Amino acid sequence: MNPAMPRISWVRTLHRASSSAPRRIAASSFASRHISTTPLRSSTKNTEWVRGKLWKDGEAPGAADPYTQRPDYVPEDSAVTRLPRAALEDIDPSDKRALAVRRSRLPFPATRNEAATPKEVGATDPAYEPATSLEDLTEMGTLSDWWDQPGHWSELDQFTAFASPEKVTDKTVIEVYYRRAFVEVLALQKTGALGEWATQKWVEGSRADLDAALAAEIVIQDGGAVLNGDGEATAIASSLKQTTEAETEVTRPERISSEEAAEMIKAWDPSWKEIAVTDQIKFALRKRLYQLTGNLIPDAKLGAAATVGHLLTLTAKQPKAKRLAEILQKTEEIVQLANVKLHDRRVSSIDREVAVGRWKLIEEELIKRDLPLTGTSDTSRNREMQHLLGKV
């Protein structure tokens, strides 16, 4: 046995404690050191460099070190704002409403406040008499019907759509309105007013304006087209420049029928569809047809169109069906089959009983037995499974 080896266990414990004591002393001495928060000179230079880059017009405002220095200028109301002086003069500090609400011409409901006492009202109104019963009280309207009351919603705030509310889908009717729009564009182009009126709203006009535009003769020259006669072009162009007051008095004309449109198309030369159109004419045609029929050509397809026929094809495209039943109902081969019947929804067992005439008898018997006509009434599903699991 080695005589230097300690024979008692607690000697080894003291030895380990003595060896770890210097480490605890070093940790405590490190914790007692003062931590300085003073920025270094390099960080101050970096801050000044960044401030100079961000604020190039003159000296940067504010303190260089916002943690230790105070700004040179402090406004009287301690509120920093970048609004112009004219806007600050219009703002009432006592009015807490939004700026859009304050500048609106609509009469918004008053803010909630406390009712005045009878003594306070009597001081301002000598003829005031307090109510003695519930019938004497004035009935005040609620906020739910505020905008329905007269004077709270003006005609200027009514939404007026530019496009036609009824979308035309018949190809022959669209071609008639395309012919009218093309004649009107040629009339404005001949009078030199197309550049001015291309972006403005045109008057929809009456049925007489439609007949006058369709009666105009189109002459093809060098791949383009012009109207034959200066008098007709001037009359058509002037009908589009009516004032807004005259436009509101004229009601929306009635749509022409598909049969009438087909008769009109037969009298026209089909070569008018091959007339080339410029970008200005395409924009005016699309805008005018969107106003008359409610059909809008997308910008991506409008750029690829080169003739009137191209525009007509893009506009007269039938809308996609939302359901499969709509597609099948338009398929003549399926509709003509005698042993096939199309339904727009799933056919249930009740529909089959109604078709053969047995549902009335079944309904009477169910009512006699106090049974539900459809469904399970108050009985939930999987009732038998609940019995097997012991939940009922």
> What pLDDT digit, counting tens, does each position of 114-131 carry?
777 888 888 888 888 888
Task: Measure the CA–CA gap between 38 and 65, rounded to whole angstroms.
Answer: 11
- 96 in a structural domain: no
Average pLDDT over residues 222-233: 78
Give the model's confidence band at 50: pLDDT under 50 very low, under 70 low, under 90 confident, else very high.
confident
- 361 in a structural domain: no
Domain of residue 282, residue span: 171-244+254-316
- 233 in a structural domain: yes
Share of the chain above pLDDT 70, in %: 73
pLDDT tens per residue across span 326-341:
888 888 888 888 888 8
Give the model's confidence band at 36: pLDDT under 50 very low, under 70 low, under 90 confident, else very high.
very low
What pLDDT is stored for residue 90 in this prediction? 60
Closest to 162 in 3D by CA, of 280, 256, 283, 296: 296
Specify the higher pLDDT residue, 78 or 379. 379
Predicted TM-score of the model (pTM): 0.52
Give the model's confidence band at 20: pLDDT under 50 very low, under 70 low, under 90 confident, else very high.
very low
- 200 in a structural domain: yes
Is the pLDDT at 246 greater than 60? The verdict is: no
Give the model's confidence band at 250: pLDDT under 50 very low, under 70 low, under 90 confident, else very high.
very low
Specify the higher pLDDT residue, 216 or 9. 216
What pLDDT is stored for residue 206 in this prediction? 83
- In the chain, how many domains are there? 1
- 72 in a structural domain: no
- 265 in a structural domain: yes
- 391 in a structural domain: no
Task: Measure the CA–CA gap between 82 and 96, rounded to whole angstroms.
Answer: 19
- 17 in a structural domain: no
Is the pLDDT at 22 greater than 50? The verdict is: no
